A and B are shown apart, each in its own frame.
Chain A
Amino acid sequence: GQQVMQIPQYQHVQEGEDFTTYCNSSTTLSNIQWYKQRPGGHPVFLIQLVKSGEVKKQKRLTFQFGEAKKNSSLHITATQTTDVGTYFCAGPGSNFGNEKLTFGTGTRLTIIP
């Protein structure tokens, strides 16, 4: 079945440093979504990318979808303590019209003040 892996599993950064998490799918994706889950909380939708090579920005966050639509990345510039949490990528099922998502393994970000 479809597998979605993320690296690194954990990342500890000093406040103000940059952070990047990489997402790789075993299958080609029609789109990729990113979610953030704060400690003790639930996932919150951040963004969806659809087009090959697409790049989207949300303030300090930059999201990229690979040319082959099998990988994606999330880059945070100048991290802040509010960025703490686990970042998940998620891709839809491989069947047409299949809405269910397969979540990546996640990258847990901790910030050292």
Chain B
Amino acid sequence: GAVVSQHPSRVICKSGTSVKIECRSLDFQATTMFWYRQFPKQSLMLMATSNEGSKATYEQGVEKDKFLINHASLTLSTLTVTSAHPEDSSFYICSARDPWRSYGYTFGSGTRLTVV
């Protein structure tokens, strides 16, 4: 099936620094990718929709200047958490869909971000 690779799987950073998370569709092209955040024992909250070659669409309440999304190719989307603070610590997951193979979405393995 469709494969989505996400890196890094874990990252610890100091408060005030920036962290970049990569999401790659390995065996299909993804014009659209989705970025979610998940707090412990909670559901997935959609942060933004990443569109290849155009600006991302952010959900209400998500700061676009803090969570920078770039989707420069059909197989790569990146999420940069800028000036990270401890409250940004969370599990970030991307997803994409190969419409030729599945109705469902394939998720990356997620990135656990800890800001100290």
Contacts and interface: CB of A to CB of B under 8 A. Distances in A.
A69 interface: no
A72 interface: no
A104 B43 CA distance: 7
B49 A33 contact: no
A88 B102 CA distance: 18
A45 B109 contact: no
B43 A45 contact: no
B104 A48 contact: yes
B105 interface: yes
Given A43-B44, A101-B46, A102-B46, A33 B104 contact: yes
Interface residue SS majority, chain A: strand
Contact of A45 (B45, B46, B106): B106
A44 interface: yes
The size class of the interface chain A forms with chain B is 20 to 34
Given A33-B104, A48-B104, A99-B32, A42 B93 contact: yes
Among B34, B46, B49, B104, find the residue whose CB has the most chain A CB atoms closer than 10 A: B104
Contacts of B34: 100-101
A35 interface: yes
Contacts of B42: 106
Interface in A50-109: 88, 99-106, 108
B104 A35 contact: yes
A104 B97 CA distance: 19
A103 B44 contact: yes
A43 B93 contact: yes
Interface string A1-28: 1000000000000000000000000000
A44 B107 contact: yes
A108 B32 contact: no
Interface in B64-116: 93, 95, 97, 102-110
Contacts of A105: 43
List the 4 closest pairs (A to B, CB-CB), nearest first: A45-B104, A48-B103, A42-B107, A103-B44
